[in-house]
């Protein structure tokens, strides 16, 4: 099977680096989740906050292919969250599966 036909799975742990209120940050990621799940190439996108004291957000993502992920990063809702500098990637795991 061609690389472009493989589903793309991503799991990431984001560390919250902003001093904004935690509920406000989680709200931004829930808006991102809602908009991302409407994207043509998105099968599932879930943003899940860990315990408040940890100040981390987990992302679980399934995409039709890697190109869909690339398109996701061009979308206004994605750029909006990125420009706020709310988080940084602590770790990320990506895999392609038939």
- pTM here? 0.90
Q: Is the dihedral of CA 9, 4, 88, 90 positive or negative?
A: positive
DSSP 50: -
The residue with tokens 């036909």 is: 5
Residue with the bigger pLDDT between 5 and 31: it is 31
Mean pLDDT of the chain: 94
The residue ranges of DSSP E strands in the chain, in sequence order, are 7-16, 42-49, 56-63, 87-97
pLDDT beyond 90 at 1: no
């Amino acid at each position: 099977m061609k690389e472009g036909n493989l589903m793309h799975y991503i799991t990431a742990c984001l560390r919250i680096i902003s001093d904004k209120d935690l509920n406000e940050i989680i709200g931004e990621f829930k808006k991102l989740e809602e908009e991302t799940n409407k994207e043509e190439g998105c099968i599932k996108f879930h943003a899940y906050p860990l315990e408040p004291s940890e100040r981390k957000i987990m992302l679980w993502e399934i995409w039709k292919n890697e190109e869909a992920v690339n398109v996701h990063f061009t979308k206004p809702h994605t750029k909006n969250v990125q420009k706020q500098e709310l988080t940084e990637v602590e770790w990320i795991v990506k895999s392609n599966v038939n």
